[in-house]
Amino acid sequence: MKNFKNIILALILSLTSFLAPSVLASGNVYDVSLKCGETKSFTVANIPDAKYTWTLVDNFGNVIFEKIDNSTRNVCDIVIPEEEGLYKLTVVADVDGCKEELENRILASKIKMDLSIDGKDWLCETQSTLLSVEINSASSVNGVSYQWFKDDAEISGATNKTYLANEVGIYKVKVTVAGTSVSFYETKDLTEVKELPFLEVEEEAQYKKEAEIVIGNNADWDNDRGYTYEWSVKQEGTNLNVKLPSETDSKIDLSKIDKAGIFTVKASDKFCSVEASINVIRWYNVGMPTGFRPSKGEKLTLVGNQQGIESVKLQIFDRNGVLVYEALNADDAFNSGWNGKYNGDDQRIDGYVYFLTVNFDNGEILKKKGSVSLLR
């Protein structure tokens, strides 16, 4: 019977080490730095019929405080000594002669620091979460260093204020005051994993002006999963990612937005978010023939309509890289065109390379290059 109680007692006491810094726990990682003169409440598991003995001794073994609590009270308020130094706090739980012991080392210091760790209290599957320790208040501190731990084990190289956690576990940060051996600890429990929102999109869509083309989350087309949505677009020919604040549905109608480029949709529930991109290619009614015959009076011009075009630049080069033709406006490119001559001389039958840039009045830019054949 006593052996059974002893096993249960050891399990309960060991579990308390994960609750909070004020809970008595064994191991150097859980050692605490406390300010001289402050009163600190320590707690162990409340074991039925257990009696507790609390003892605080200094680094030389002198007993500073001892309390034998026969009232089965599992909490003890201890005044931290005024003298700076290392102390050991021991608690013994006794159940009918079956005893278990835990201890903490306490570094009494004139320095006081209050810490917290910002970041989610869970992990989103396949994603990382950024943990950041914040020093909310401190006294007599001229600098600090950091060390992160996971499940009591020191994380190599994790010595910054922030840490990117990508595995479940109990994370702890140790903040040491510069020039001292005084350290403070704070813990973040990341043992819960949340599923990501279900987001499924087409990789590419083609948009034709004045045609109703709808893109969105195929897994939530009717918008009934309770997700919130954010949309943005990086337009063709630009590096600017433009947010679309009025678009909060699972899908959008491209004919109302009248933009092409890389559309990004972000789906979020109350725990996690996930993003996906759709490459929207505008169907432009602007093109270049594959060849022309100057000997029959043909000229090389752009084909299509000029609606919405603000400016055009068309350049044609021969195989030696010589610019043989250039049009800098829509009229020249669509109407005048290239007659197959350069400096008044007919150019030979060959393949030529063209570069085309079209600026539209909605801010979009079409850039194309290709080859065209001069025939006789």
SS3 for 107-164 is EEECCCEEEEEECCCCEECCCCEEEEEEEEEECCCCCEEEEEEECCEECCCCCCCEEE
Residue 3 has pLDDT above 90, yes or no: no
pLDDT at 173: 94
Q: Residue 5's pLDDT is what?
A: 42
Please list the helix, strand and coil fractions of the chain in percent, rounded to the nearest 5, in that order.
10, 50, 40
Model confidence pLDDT, tens digit, residues 308-344: 889 999 999 999 999 999 999 999 999 999 999 999 9
CATH assignment, 286-374 = 2.60.40
Task: Judge contact between 267 and 199, C-beta under 8 A.
Answer: yes
Q: Per-residue pLDDT averaged across 191-214, rounded?
A: 88
Lowest mean pLDDT among 15-19, 39-43, 144-148, 368-372: 15-19
Q: Which among 50, 32, 51 has a CA at the least distance from the CA of 42? A: 32
CATH 2.60.40.10 fits 113-194, yes or no: yes
d(C-alpha 341, C-alpha 234), whole Å: 40
Task: Indicate the range of 1-15, 68-82, 167-181 predicted with least confidence.
Answer: 1-15
User: Of 132, 159, 164, which is closest to residue 148 (Cα–Cα)?
Assistant: 159
Instruction: Tell me what pLDDT residue 275 has.
Output: 97
Domain boundaries, the chain: 2-109, 113-194, 204-282, 286-374
Residue 13: predicted pLDDT: 40
Torsion of CA 167, 171, 175, 180, to 10 degrees: -110
Q: Which of 72-81, 112-121, 278-287, 317-326 has the highest mean pLDDT?
A: 317-326
pLDDT in tens, 21-60: 344 443 333 356 777 788 888 887 777 888 888 889 988 8
**Confidence (pLDDT) at 209:** 66
The predicted pLDDT at position 238 comes to 67
Lowest-pLDDT choice from 223-232, 235-244, 268-277: 235-244
Q: Topology of domain 204-282, per CATH?
A: Immunoglobulin-like (2.60.40)
Average pLDDT, the chain: 84
Where does the pLDDT of residue 72 fall: very low under 50, low under 70, confident under 90, or very high at 90 and above?
low
Give the pLDDT of residue 11.
35
Phi, psi of 237 (to 5 degrees): 80, 5
Examine domains 2-109 and 286-374 and report if their fold is the same. yes
Q: Does residue 122 carry a pLDDT above 90? A: yes
pLDDT at 236: 64
> CA 218 to CA 198: how far, in whole Å?
9
2-109 maps to CATH 2.60.40.10: yes
Whether 13 and 91 have beta carbons less than 8 Å apart is answered as no
Residue 79 in this model has a pLDDT that exceeds 90? no
Q: Is 147 exposed, middle or buried (0-12, 13-18, 19+ CB in 10 A)?
A: buried
Q: For 255-268, how does the pLDDT look when each residue is reduced to its tens digit (9 = 90+)?
A: 888 777 899 999 99
pTM recorded for the entire structure: 0.57
